[in-house]
Amino acid sequence: MKLAGIILISFVAGWAHAQTANGQPAFDAASIKPAPPPTGRGMRVMVNGGPGSRDPGRYTCDNCSLSMLVTAAYDIKNYQLSAPGWLDTERFIVLVKIPDKATKEEFRLMLQNLLAERFKLVIHRDKKEAPIYELVVAKGGPKLKESVEEPPKESDKDTGDDPPPLPPGGRGRGPNVDKDGYPVIPKGCNGCMMIMNGKARLHSERQTMKEFADQISYQVGKPVIDATGLKGKYDIDLSFDAGGMMRGGGLPPPDANTPLGSSDSDMGVPIVGAIQAQLGLKLEAKKGQVETIVVDHMEKVPTEN
């Protein structure tokens, strides 16, 4: 199935005055219902709202998979989740009402409690040695555009976390694409990734290499540690083929003794080759300790609202 749309993940916060049946903090109100089945034209995943955004009293997640909800609740990335594969395919529309003056930690606790109450989620924590990646400068040096600090404009004074609206696409079919078929992300949509018809674009502004390494860890499905030694902030545009992306990113299990990108087959992994060709950086495989959340039990169907 082709995936069309923008994936904007924002872990937001909220404080609830309500409590679950066992006395744990809960949202003031929460609605969970199955998402409509995807059509042949693709699927759009959107997460918006919460304190710090333009809609601080509400949090919505359209077409959210259960794995997305669990990773948001426990503040982890996809590669830190050990769970049955159906958590990626069962999708829901989630709407919660958030009282004032909440923190992100409180929101996550309430989301944990919501998943435990409605989906009977049971987890345990684990730590194990696993493959990780180091982001380093490739031979020939970096090909990065250093950010230029601009004075804030009157229109930029909104401090919300929500991204700007997507540009209109041709005949109402979605965002615009460039001459090569890659989606056009609007300026100011910082840290955004968009996938349309198997083509992906990632855009960030004023980003450190540590932030970039953390961001691409979602795509490669493993922890990425910044080892570039670059201290500046950069505007980054990265385009790559997303057609072969698997759960958590799409990279095959790495050989810890071989740098990615050192062979033609490695360069065939789209995002790896794109990082090296477009940014002058590369990923080297290592081993390290990774904390995980293991799902021991979860129901596919939630209890009623």
Tens of pLDDT along 266-303? 333 588 899 999 999 999 999 999 999 999 999 999 99
**Domain co-membership, 257 together with 202:** yes
Instruction: Tell me what pLDDT residue 247 has.
Output: 37
Q: pLDDT by residue (tens digit) across 117-173?
A: 999 999 999 998 989 999 999 999 999 999 987 666 554 454 455 544 444 443 344
Could you tell me if 106 and 138 lie in one domain? Answer: no
Quick check: 28 pLDDT over 80? yes
Whether the per-residue pLDDT at 63 is higher than 60: the answer is yes
Residue 227 has pLDDT above 70, yes or no: yes
The alpha carbon of residue 31 and the mean position of all alpha carbons in its chain are separated, in whole angstroms, by 23
pLDDT of res. 22: 65
At 165 the pLDDT is 46
pLDDT digit string, tens, across residues 241-274: 886 443 333 333 333 333 333 333 333 358 889 9
Q: Which residue has the higher pLDDT, 18 or 95?
A: 95
pTM for the model: 0.65
Q: Are residues 278 and 140 in the same domain?
A: yes
Residue 279 sits in the same domain as residue 133: yes
Same domain, 133 and 89: no
Look at 112 and 20; give whichever has higher pLDDT: 112
Report pLDDT for 154.
54
3-state secondary structure the chain: CCCCEEEECCCCCCCCCEECCCCCEECCEEEEEECCCCECCECCCEEEECCCCCCCCEEEEEEEEHHHHHHHHHCCCHHHEECCHHHHCCEEEEEEECCCCCCHHHHHHHHHHHHHHHHCCEEEEEEEEEEEEEEEECCCCCCCEECCCCCCCHHHCCCCCCCCCCCCCHHHCCCCECCCCCECCCCCCCCEEEEECCEEEEEEEEECHHHHHHHHHHHHCCCEEECCCCCCCEEEEEEEECCCCCCCCCCCCCCCCCECCCCHHHHCCHHHHHHHHHHCEEEEEEEEEEEEEEEEECCCCCCCC
Overall average pLDDT of the 65-76 stretch = 94
Please state the domain count of the chain.
2
Is 52 within the bounds of a domain? yes
Considering the domain architecture, whether residues 134 and 247 belong to the same structural domain is answered as: yes
For residues 158 and 14, the model is more confident at 158
> What does the alpha-carbon distance between residue 32 and residue 120 come to, in Å, rounded to a whole number?
14
In this prediction, residue 54 carries a pLDDT of: 77
Cβ atoms 281, 234 nearer than 8 A: no
261 shares a domain with 138: yes
Mean pLDDT along residues 207-216: 93
Look up the domain containing 13 and give its range.
Answer: 5-119
Pairing of β 81-82 and β 281-297: parallel
Query: Is the pLDDT reported for residue 13 higher than 60?
Result: no
| Closest among 52, 84, 54 to 294, alpha carbons compared | 84
pLDDT confidence of 39, banded at 50, 70, 90? confident
192 shares its domain with 264: yes
**Residue 267 located in a structural domain:** yes
Average pLDDT, rounded, for the chain: 78
Same domain, 136 and 108: no
140 assigned to some structural domain: yes
Does 198 score more than 90 pLDDT?
A: no
With bands split at pLDDT 50, 70 and 90, how would you rate the model's confidence at 107? confident
The residue among 174 and 23 whose pLDDT is bigger is 23
Residue 174 has a pLDDT of: 54
